[in-house]
Amino acid sequence: MATITQTDTIKTITTHYIDGAFVESHGREVMDIIKPTNGQVIGRVTLGDEEDTRRAIAAAKRAFTSFSRTTKEERSRYLRRLHEAVSARIDDLTDVMVEEYGGVVRFARLIVESGVAAFAAAEKGLQELPLKRSWGKTTVTLEPVGVAGLITAWNANALFICLKLASAVAAGCTVVLKPSEMSSLQTRVMVECLNAAGLPKGVFNVVTGLGTVVGAELVRNPDVAKISFTGSVAVGEAIMRDGAATMKRITLELGGKSPTIVLDDAALDKAIPSALILAFMNSGQACAAGTRLLVPRSRLDEVKQAIQEGMRTFTVGDPADPNIMVGPMVSQKQFERVESYIRKGIEEGTEVLVGGEGRPKGLEAGYFVKPTVFVNVKNDMAIAQEEIFGPVLSVIAYDSEDDAIRIANDSKYGLHSAVMGTDLDRARRVASQLRAGRVVINNMTDDPQAPWGGFKYSGVGREYGKYGIEAFLEPKAILE
Ligand code: NAD
């Protein structure tokens, strides 16, 4: 099915996906999609309005009546079909992520594969989650909460859509998805996959549009019971505030300023390359990016040397090239934001160990920045406290294990952390004292059954596996 029309090199999308069909947008505003490697227009998307959103909500509400009564087995079957349908187009989904978002190909593929894995993880989570428990004369069932509004960010579009949809479907909820408007081309390929899975019509609906229009309607509409949101703290706060009027159930996956603690017994030849991957993954546009590197003051010189060596592999350039590690920023706005923080870091009196202001040589056309490492950073500086969302790493020296833990926790965020060390018991002891939703020891690793989400300003609630499904369920007790 051709759902994208292409004239020369510009792709045009004028439809949304509502009630099992691609339907023309009621909203008329058109937005350009810009390719981040060269600033050229590669797409035009017609943005949905409140009317499109209400039509999608009505379709989801109609479908909820029967979908909410499906059995675990039926929903498992749908999850398997979704898994198959998205698996079949991993290459296409990767290519469009590279083109529209500028994600480096090796990482973009991992993101898409994680999205595919989310359906299998939800199926497993559903099997492990008892939806009914009885004792004495009491029976407790976990029931789908209702129509869910799913609102996503632009930095890992495929993953967010699959993850949220998988949990909602597993729970028996129907959904209206509002992807980031900046991910419209990626979303369209994804919706073609989801459509191919053949779920009952109305179970998932997709309206592309602005957050302040489509997103706001989802948040205020009384027929939407739940919002699952991934994005910035500022918008998360607005959703919580505005959602209160209709008593929304709310999951918020927000920002981070994650610490990586290198303990003094760490093998630097392993710890520093791992720490650099944590910091610069997805070109630094990652909520979990380990952007504060906490190192023992006694080993600072060795660390600086290891970083300089390690950074040679963090090449910047065309994200379609499999040898490239850092791609462009997603937009001009994001480019300016990252540059302004690099300037701020210099003004705050830190030492620029690697990178600095301005575009890398030969990459003047796109939104490229230089991967930058600051040393002599104090944890109260803006570059250590505020989420930059770009390839900028702050190295902070500490004096003792307790000092490292104190600095790590001295942040408004608490999404992700890492501990690097040779003595595993000690690393575990440090990990247990970190105020973060997830801590990895010695390497970036993942487990789709483990919960994902933040302490403090990093969010409310959890995603993944059974924890993610529970967020779309409501306990009900029947007492005889
Ligand atoms: P954003 O908050 O600007 O936008 C996120 C989504 O919200 C978009 O779809 C946007 O259109 C929509 N939106 C905007 N205003 C809205 C409103 N008033 N009501 C409803 N929806 C609205 O964030 P972004 O710039 O797209 O993404 C970057 C942020 O996302 C970073 O802070 C990053 O840390 C965070 N993030 C968090 C996670 C996580 O899992 N915790 C993952 C990825 C990104």
What is the three-state SS of 326-365? ECCCCCHHHHHHHHHHHHHHHHCCCEEEECCCCCCCCCCC
> Ligand 1: which atom is nearest the Cα of residue 218?
20
What does the longest C-alpha to C-alpha distance in the chain come to?
Answer: 74
Checking if the pLDDT of 122 tops 50, the result is yes
How far apart (Å, rounded) are the C-alpha atoms in residues 284 and 145? 35
The model's confidence at residue 2, banded by pLDDT at 50, 70 and 90, is very low
Averaged pLDDT for residues 62-71: 98
If pLDDT is split at 50, 70 and 90, which confidence band does 443 have? confident
- Summarize the confidence of residues 350-367 as an average pLDDT: 97
Q: Determine whether 173 is an active site residue.
A: no
Q: Looking at ligand 1, which atom is closest to the CA of residue 253?
A: 41
| Atom 39 of ligand 1, nearest CA residue | 253
**Residue pair 374/390 in contact by the 8 Å Cβ criterion:** no
Q: How far is the CA of 185 from the CAs of 13, 109, 369, in angstroms?
A: 8, 16, 24
Take atom 20 of ligand 1 and give the residue whose Cα is closest: 215
Percent of the chain, pLDDT > 90?
Answer: 97
Determine the distance separating the centroid of ligand 1 and the alpha carbon of 162, expressed in angstroms. 16
CA 251 – ligand 1 centroid, Å: 12
Span from the CA of 225 to the centroid of ligand 1 (angstroms): 20
Closest to 213 (Cα-Cα) out of 52, 59, 22, 331: 52
Strand arrangement, sheet containing 5-7: 5-7, 10-13, 41-46, 30-34
- Residue 215 CB–ligand 1 contact under 6 Å: yes
Q: Give the Cα separation of 144 and 126 in Å (integer).
A: 13
Our mutation pick for probing the ligand 1 site, out of 47, 57, 155, 415, counting the most ligand atoms within 8 A of Cβ, is 155
Q: Give the closest residue (by CA) to ligand 1 atom 23.
A: 231
Tell me the CA–centroid distance for residue 73 and ligand 1, in Å.
34
**Distance from the CA of 182 to the center of ligand 1, in angstroms?**
11
- What is the whole-number distance in angstroms between the Cα of residue 177 and the centre of ligand 1? 13
- Is the pLDDT score of 466 beyond 80? yes
pLDDT of residue 460 exceeding 90: yes
CB 172 within 8 A of CB 125: no
Contact 389, 414 (CB under 8 A): no
Task: Name the residue at shortest CA distance from atom 28 of ligand 1.
Answer: 231
* Pocket lining: 253 vs ligand 1, CB cutoff 6 Å: yes
Dihedral angle, C-alpha 76, 77, 81, 83, nearest 10 °: 20
User: Ligand 1 pocket test: which of 114, 180, 331 has the largest number of ligand atoms within 8 Å of its C-beta?
Assistant: 180
Ligand 1 binding pocket includes 230 (Cβ within 6 Å): yes
What's the rounded mean pLDDT across residues 282-301? Answer: 98
Identify any residues that bridge with 32 across adjacent strands, giving them in sequence order: 44
Q: What is the mean pLDDT of residues 358-371?
A: 96
Cβ neighbors of 395 (< 8 A, separation 6 or more) are 293, 295, 300, 303, 304, 307, 353, 373, 374, 375, 376, 377
Q: What is the pLDDT of residue 8?
A: 58
Pocket test for ligand 1, best of 235, 239, 341, 416 (most atoms within 8 A of CB): 235
Distance 220 CA to ligand 1 centre (A): 17
Atom nearest to 179 CA in ligand 1: 9
Find out whether the beta carbon of 155 lies less than 6 Å from any atom of ligand 1. yes
The pLDDT value given to residue 1? 47
CA-proximal residue: ligand 1, atom 10 (nearest): 211
Given a cut of 90, whether residue 6 has pLDDT beyond it is no
pLDDT-based confidence at residue 7 (cuts at 50, 70, 90): low
Distance 331 CA to ligand 1 centre (A): 14
Whether the pLDDT of residue 39 is over 70: the answer is: yes
Nearest residue by C-alpha to atom 7 in ligand 1? 211
Lowest-pLDDT range of 7-16, 191-200, 355-364, 423-432: 7-16
How many whole angstroms from 370 Cα to the centroid of ligand 1? Answer: 24
Does 396 sit in the ligand 1 pocket, CB within 6 Å?
no
pTM over 0.75: yes
Cβ(183)–Cβ(100) under 8 Å? Answer: yes
- Ligand 1 within 6 A of 287 CB? yes
E strands of 98-181, at which residues? 132-135, 138-144, 148-151, 175-178
pLDDT confidence bin for 9, thresholds 50/70/90:
confident
Whether residue 287 lies in the annotated active site: yes
| Ligand 1 proximity of 397 Cβ (cutoff 6 Å) | no
**Closest ligand 1 atom to the C-alpha of 178?**
9
Is 219 close to ligand 1, i.e. is its CB under 6 Å away? yes
